[in-house]
Amino acid sequence: MNNLFHNIKPQKTEKTKSLTVGIPRAFCYHQHGRLWENFFTMLGCNVVVSSCTNQHIIDLGVKNISSEACLPVKVMAGHVLSLIDKSDVIFIPRYVTTDKNEFTCPEICSLPDMIKLSVKPKFEMMEIALDLHHGLEKTEQSLTHVAKRLELDESIVRSAFLKAVKNRLRSDMETATMGTTTLEAVKTPTIALLGHPYMIGDGYISMDITSKLKSHGYKVVTPSNLDYSTKRENAYPYEGRIFYGAGLENLGSAFYFARQQNIKGIIFLTPFACGVDSLVTEFIERHLKTIKNVIPYMKITIDEHTGEAGFDTRIEAFLDMIGE
């Protein structure tokens, strides 16, 4: 595998030069979007990313996806539809696992299939499978298909994947944005905001909650502010066990934040009908009741019908309670 790290430049063809890859600004884009942009850029493709989520995108998704799907899936469908006329192919990665013993939810595992079967008009889709728990066999197969579509040697595509994506995934998991040591030194009253990255990172469906909390004088921390090991060590009752990756992130973060004196409250932002969160929030609520110094906690469920006025009222009431 070491020979794949050589600095090999793509042998571009006319087909490769003109190929425009559309990347939806949804789901795992909020964690790894830049990695995938770099991957396709290294292969000589033009890359176009959909615009930030807006009401039009949500409406498009709602019309094309089953009402039983969670809000992020509907948002993804809307982003895909917004890219159809702007790209030759649309890239939707298939995330199964991104680490040992950590799985994604069934809707993320099957996301390419759900979108492909539901969205009309039809479009050309490109996918790369990530199943690091079981090795790179499925990834290798999907990279072979990408190489054929781009008319590139498979070694070039694999090299770009290792450099731009796989190695960066591990680096991102091991490196924190702020780090636990710095977090412990923070004296400003702080709110811990929990939830999936595609909920917190999407300013429209999160109703810009981070800015709203900051406008009231609070610092905001999220699971991204903690290092990988801290979150796994604190993920009661699933520490060291097979579970959903997003569940471990939020469980570990909740229990770590609950012990920090500067954390004045915890807010969990969850999409309606999220199966993973239905388990995780229950464990958090039960566990927080057992600690000596009870910390204020609020779960906010969001779907396409959630109104901003009611959302803001709940935030303000929660902050008023903390300030009393």
The confidence score (pLDDT) of residue 1 equals 35
Q: What is the mean pLDDT of the chain?
A: 88
pLDDT of 178 > 80? The answer is no
The Cα-based distances of 194 to 7, 202, 256 in angstroms read: 40, 13, 12
Residue 136 is given by DSSP the state S
Percent of the chain with pLDDT over 70: 89
Residue appearing with tokens 């901003």: 308
- SS3 state at 270: strand
pLDDT of 2 > 50? The answer is no
Please check whether residue 229 is in contact with residue 223, taking contact to mean a CB–CB distance below 8 angstroms. Answer: no
Domains in the chain with CATH codes: 2-174 (no CATH), 180-323 (3.40.50)
| Cα dihedral 138→142→148→150 (10° resolution) | -150
Please check whether residue 88 is in contact with residue 50, taking contact to mean a CB–CB distance below 8 angstroms. Answer: no
249, amino acid identity: E
